[in-house]
Structure 1
Amino acid sequence: MRSFELVMAILLWITTAWRAVKVWGKGHDRALWWTFFGLAVMMTLRLPAGRALDQLTGIVDLSYLLKHLSGGVLSAAALLAFLRKVSGQQDGSPAVKRLRVILPLATAAIMSTLFFAKLQPYETRAIFQDPAARMALLAYTTVFLGFLTLSLLAGTRVCLRWSRKADGRALGWGLGTIGAGMAAGVAYALVRIAALIAHMTGDGILPGDLDDRVSTYLLMTALLLIVVGSTLPVLGKLRTWGKRRRALLALRPLWLDLTRAAPAVRLDSPRGPTADRLDPRDMLGRLYRRTIEIRDAALVLGDHAPADLRERARRHVEARGLTGARAAVAAEACWLLAARRAKLRGEAPQASRDHPPVEGGRDLLGEISVLTRLSDAYHSDLAHEFADTCDRLPEPQP
């Protein structure tokens, strides 16, 4: 279990650091960052680092208080604030807003007061030997787990309610998984308070240290589900990013070929394939710009594609058995390739711009689909056969 706690602590600190890059300094909501920061501190204090802190400060069991304040009060309040925002729940009246701030602060103040007034300088297990300290521990634990349980129950209710109404499957599954984690947290709180009461009256609710082990398993389950649930919406965004990246790279050969013949349409100079492939930034903007530059280059090359060339391209693809939308895309690819070669040879434009524009997609996804088919046709043997035939024809006389 200790090795699993170490893995969880590392995972939580990685998540905290990653989210810090996203939210700090960018004006984003930081509630989820505070959640993971508090959980990471709590898990760290469960490790030998907690004992080291106690020895360094000279305050017995200080880590006991700090892990409850960070992992219970801070994280619970921050997670609940995050869930209210992501679910679109209204903040409520000013009194309700104040209560959401006052309640965790009051909980932390009561816990700290009880800890320093009655739970010092005892080791945690030695507290049971002093009746006053034992009652203070009961009050401390009741306040702490009471706040934690109420927060987790409220969070579970938000998750279950809004997971079915969420925009997008990833967000819905994420909220549902967080809700399951918070429900496991409620079970953890109930087991802990029951175990404490049982220890005060006997040997515990389960033989030996089984109650501690059960509560630890419930806590680890809750943390794991909350981490996974908060990551699921990010996976949806990552999947969208991956689709855009694949489309960007798939359109690169067509974009590069056309814009070499019409370089004026480029906003920036083309980068090498490795730089284009490895750059993760602004995938949507780059993809949008690439589709625009392909269409702009096609308009420029259209000046080198007179009506008779377009007609020959249409007959060429129909002779190969293509019809409908496939024939239209293949014909466009044929005359585009022939027009590109003509422009690179330095031939003068032979067509006016009164040709109707080739039909594209209704949105970016549709345009990507059309241009992907155009790219496949442009690099096909069919288009190269047509362009080779045009190269052998004599130049038209002025």
Structure 2
Amino acid sequence: MSLVVYSAASIFAVTALLLFRRPRVALRDPLTASTCVSIFLGGLCFFCSAPVTLSAVNELTGIPNFGAPMTYSVISAYSASLLILLINWRGGPAEQVRRWVVRVATVYSALIVAIITLFALASAPVERLRDLDTYYANTPYMREMILLYLIGHGACAVTTCWVCLRWSREVTGILRVGLRLIMAGLSVDVIGFECAKMTAVAARWAAHDLDRLSTDLAPPASALGALICSAGFVLPRLLPAAQAQWQSLWDYRALAPLWAELKDVPTAPKPAPPRWQLPRGRLYYREIRILDALLALQSHCDGRVRETAYRQARTQGSPPGEAHFIAAAAMVVDAAQQARRPQPAGSPEPSGTSRLQAAVFSDTGELVQLARALAGSPVVRAAREGATRATQS
């Protein structure tokens, strides 16, 4: 059991670190901060509930079963964090959001105080690491403590499910997927954890033994439900960023032919980019270098090459937009070849230099289209071969 809950706690910790990778930004955003707190508390719940952790806490404090109110308090704090996260996520007038956050925090703070107080009043001398809920189901004060944490967690699950159901009818896309994942995770939690625990405790009240529901079914069901629920909260926040990084990686690779053509063009020195970067950072530095090289080629750009390539592309059936990029690519290739060719002193600039702006693109999509035209157009290949022959002659 300890391995299962420690694994769940590790997944929660990694997810929280991904969301909290920029602490200053995260702390200024209530939604990001509440998401990180909720995921952190979810992982802490599993860490605290592991038998190994419970045994270590009991031994450290010298109080049998001290780990129980600690775990139940963390579970209650986790329940409160889920509700607060949902309030911040749903949004609304700032004063209304703040009022609901204060109400939830007040109610669950009182619940935690009650759990600790009831444990202090109870007599629980026998250490129970896996079946405390059922073993002390009939013990005064312990019984009430167990019921309180189950009711608090169950109320959070049902309320969150109800709000997500109503909200999912108003939204579409990835947000709706996230809300449905939250509902699925909470449903697993309610059925597999809440119902199993309550059934096992009620069976003890009726002098029956259904302890396996509490010890064998509830922990893995709770882990599964919490992971699904957390995926629902995190997915709408991480997926767009992941998609953006994937698009940046695709664009970075798509720009490779253009960069191969321009990488030897002398430009103003730039600071070396960081060695380890995400795709978006790598794309940024490649775009900057390409744009610098295009600007450095301005004195070699010949508008006549562009006009000739444009006519050839149109003759071969390219639509005007595609012919525009083919012509610009041909002019860039010709300019790059001329930049490598020794220029006699006082030689005149090529005519049509004013058309340089047609070849300098600042948008990533346009640079990608320019690179695609440079790599695949027969018109550009012909311009390259002609420029090469001129250089060799």
TM range (shorter): 0.7 to 0.9
- Closer/same/farther in 2, CA of residues 22 and 230 from structure 1, 3 Å limit: farther
Q: Distance in 1 between matches of 2:5 and 2:112?
A: 25
Sequence identity (%)? 20
Q: 1:130 deviation in Å?
A: 8.7
Amino acid at match of 1:117: L
Q: Distance in 1 between matches of 2:309 and 2:340?
A: 19
Amino acid at match of 2:380: A
Q: Is the 8 A contact 1:111 1:140 kept in 2?
A: yes
Q: Distance in 2 between matches of 1:93 and 1:298?
A: 51
1:309 aligned residue: 305
Residue 101 of structure 2 corresponds to residue 101 of structure 1: no
Residue 69 of structure 2 corresponds to residue 65 of structure 1: yes
Q: Is the 8 A contact 1:301 1:339 kept in 2?
A: yes
Residue 151 of structure 2 corresponds to residue 151 of structure 1: no
Look up the SS of the partner of 2:115 in the other structure.
helix
2:45 aligned residue: 42
- Closer/same/farther in 2, CA of residues 144 and 247 from structure 1, 3 Å limit: same
Look up the SS of the partner of 2:15 in the other structure.
helix
**Residues 135-182 of structure 1, C-alpha deviation per residue, up to 9 Å, x if partnerless?**
322321222122212222222223233345457x33432232122212
2:244 aligned residue: 240
**Residues 180-238 of structure 1, C-alpha deviation per residue, up to 9 Å, x if partnerless?**
2123333322432333232122214x4x6245433334313312212332342323321
- Closer/same/farther in 2, CA of residues 126 and 88 from structure 1, 3 Å limit: closer
Q: Which moved more, 1:226-235 or 1:48-57?
A: 226-235
Look up the SS of the partner of 2:255 in the other structure.
helix
Aligned-residue RMSD, C-alpha: 3.5
Look up the SS of the partner of 2:64 in the other structure.
coil
2:370 aligned residue: 374
Q: 1:67 deviation in Å?
A: 1.2
Q: Is the 8 A contact 1:335 1:387 kept in 2?
A: no
**Residues 88-128 of structure 1, C-alpha deviation per residue, up to 9 Å, x if partnerless?**
24562765443222111100000000001114434457998
1:219 aligned residue: 222
Q: Is the 8 A contact 1:20 1:33 kept in 2?
A: yes
Q: Is the 8 A contact 1:313 1:331 kept in 2?
A: yes
- Closer/same/farther in 2, CA of residues 13 and 255 from structure 1, 3 Å limit: same
Residue 177 of structure 2 corresponds to residue 181 of structure 1: no
2:205 aligned residue: 200
Amino acid at match of 2:382: E
Q: 1:290 deviation in Å?
A: 4.7
Q: Is the 8 A contact 1:247 1:287 kept in 2?
A: yes
1:350 aligned residue: 350
Look up the SS of the partner of 2:278 in the other structure.
coil
Q: Distance in 2 between matches of 1:61 and 1:50?
A: 8
**Residues 280-316 of structure 1, C-alpha deviation per residue, up to 9 Å, x if partnerless?**
27x26x6456546645644553543334322322344
Q: Is the 8 A contact 1:303 1:352 kept in 2?
A: no
Q: Which moved more, 1:179-188 or 1:334-343?
A: 179-188
| Alignment TM-score, normalising by the size of structure 1 | 0.80
**Residues 41-61 of structure 1, C-alpha deviation per residue, up to 9 Å, x if partnerless?**
322232322112212211111
Q: Which moved more, 1:215-224 or 1:253-262?
A: 253-262
Q: 1:66 deviation in Å?
A: 1.1
Q: Is the 8 A contact 2:294 2:332 kept in 1?
A: yes
Q: Is the 8 A contact 1:87 1:166 kept in 2?
A: no
Amino acid at match of 2:383: F
2:33 aligned residue: 30
Look up the SS of the partner of 2:140 in the other structure.
helix
2:277 to 265, 276, 279: 279
1:117 to 115, 121, 140: 121
**1:263-278 superposed matches below 5 A:** 263-264=267-268, 268=270, 278=276
Q: Is the 8 A contact 1:334 1:387 kept in 2?
A: yes
Q: Distance in 2 between matches of 1:213 and 1:313?
A: 73
- Closer/same/farther in 2, CA of residues 302 and 37 from structure 1, 3 Å limit: closer
- Closer/same/farther in 2, CA of residues 114 and 159 from structure 1, 3 Å limit: same
2:329 to 330, 333, 344: 333
- Closer/same/farther in 2, CA of residues 307 and 235 from structure 1, 3 Å limit: closer
Look up the SS of the partner of 1:263 in the other structure.
coil
- Closer/same/farther in 2, CA of residues 200 and 259 from structure 1, 3 Å limit: same
Q: Which moved more, 1:144-153 or 1:87-96?
A: 87-96
Query: Structure 2 regions of 5+ residues with no counterpart?
Result: none
1:141 aligned residue: 146
Query: Structure 1 regions of 5+ residues with no counterpart?
Result: none
Residue 11 of structure 2 corresponds to residue 11 of structure 1: yes
Q: Distance in 2 between matches of 1:127 and 1:244?
A: 51
| Alignment TM-score, normalising by the size of structure 2 | 0.81
Q: Is the 8 A contact 1:175 1:230 kept in 2?
A: yes
